[in-house]
Structure 1
């Protein structure tokens, strides 16, 4: 996490619009720290996604939090840390808050969707192994069986390891008062106490976060410009 990235994030937050932050090295710890900083100045973590394919980066979505508590905290922090825009003069990190953010990000990355993809992969491996085995001859049958056992062992290990890991994240979030809810696509998310359940499967897929008739994210009300803009100019839309 660089000072430059923090400065850029805070500059984008001054517009009052949803902001996407990318970690090229796929670091959940780095994104959790950035989300923590965003929370101190009127924003809230909304979702995360992987780069896809051979791109192992992670992109996090943060959105304005118009709740009275968040606005009061942001006003207090801007007053206490007026030079936060330099990326250095920031509120200290709170370990428990960071752990909760890491749990939310990890669960969103490796929740039930990953388990479904593993099951699809297992079906594909079974089909491929069968195709190899029926090519004829005892050698093809042996190779098909070896391939099936090898890949199924990997999938089985990954499936149960992922499920155990997610159970740990879920327990941490539930103990902190977060609520598990399913969105319109069936994806399970943990929302903070008092937040509205998500209604869309992918906040990143919204064509225009600024469109007034389309909420940019299902979990939070329509954003309002932040009360304080450290860069001196009123935000424009």
Structure 2
């Protein structure tokens, strides 16, 4: 997380509009750190998607506690927009936001879709092996062996992925998050007090500006 990313995000948030945080070099941990800071200034994590890196959506939190926290922090850290001090980092909030972001990323594609995408990737790689070895008999044998080995690993990777996803779901449930299905049919986890789209839910936020 760079200081520039933080300042750009805060400037966008000062408009009160929905914001998208985009960085080609972001990791899940880095965007979760940005989400923690956003919460301190009255915004709430809404969603994430893969684009050029990760693209995280943030929307203003209308809750009275969030409004009070934002007013307090804007008053206490008036130079935050210009490189000044920020509120203390909150490790517990970071862990929950990281879990929520990770879960959302893993929920964006079904197990069947993941298998199809992985199968196509393996097939393309096998074809590349053949092309790289001048398409002779040896290249076909090598490519065939690679294809069979990697395809046989897909079910194991799928099981590992489900366990990975379940770990974060359990972490969120233990923290009081509620499983819901959004308008696209995707399973999401709402924080305590969150509501479905159209009732003050952060998942209903619109598109913001790009950074």
Q: TM-score, normalised by structure 1?
A: 0.71
In structure 2, what is the equivalent of residue 188 of structure 1? 187
Q: Structure 1: state its 5+ residue gaps.
A: 129-138, 200-214, 223-237
Render the CA deviation track for 1:25-64: whole Å, top value 9, x for unaligned.
231111011101100001000000101xxx4x11100001
What RMSD in Å do the two structures reach over aligned CA positions?
A: 3.1
Deviations 1:156-209 (CA, angstroms, capped at 9, x unpaired): 23212211111111111001100111123221011111111247xxxxxxxxxx
Select which of 91, 101, 105 maps to 2:101.
105
Task: Provide the C-alpha distance between the structure 2 equivalents of 1:91 and 1:37, rounded to a whole number of angstroms.
Answer: 8
Q: State how 1:104-123 maps to structure 2 within 5 Å.
A: 104-111=100-107, 113-121=109-117
1:218–1:83 distance in 2 versus 1, CA, 3 Å? closer
| Alignment of 1:38 onto 2:22 | no
Q: CA deviation at 1:142?
A: 7.5
Quick one: which of 48, 59, 62 aligns to 1:63? 59
Once the two structures are TM-superposed, the CA of residue 148 in structure 1 deviates from its matched residue by: 5.1
Segments of 5+ residues of structure 2 without an aligned counterpart are: 125-137, 207-211
Superposition map of 1:64-213 within 5 A: 64-111=60-107, 113-121=109-117, 146=145, 149-198=148-197
Per-residue deviation, 1:102: 0.4
- Aligned pair 1:5/2:5, yes or no? yes
- Number of aligned residue pairs: give it: 194
User: Could you say which residue in structure 2 is the equivalent of 1:19?
Assistant: 19
Question: Deviation of residue 151 (structure 1)?
Answer: 2.9
- Specify the SS of the correspondent of 2:203: coil
Distance in 2, matches of 1:49 and 1:8, equals 19
Which of the two has greater helix per residue? 2
Given that 1:118 and 1:155 are in contact with CA atoms closer than 8 Å, whether structure 2 keeps it comes out as no
TM-superposed deviation, 1:97: 0.6
Give the direction of change, closer, same or farther, for the CA distance of 1:119–1:197 in structure 2 (3 Å limit).
farther
Counterpart CA distance in 2 for 1:30 and 1:146 is 39
| Distance verdict in 2 for CA 1:126–1:61, change over 3 Å | closer
Matched-pair contact (CA < 8 Å) for 1:84–1:90:
yes
Say whether 1:219 aligns with 2:203: yes
**Contact 2:77–2:84 (CA under 8 A) maintained in structure 1:** no
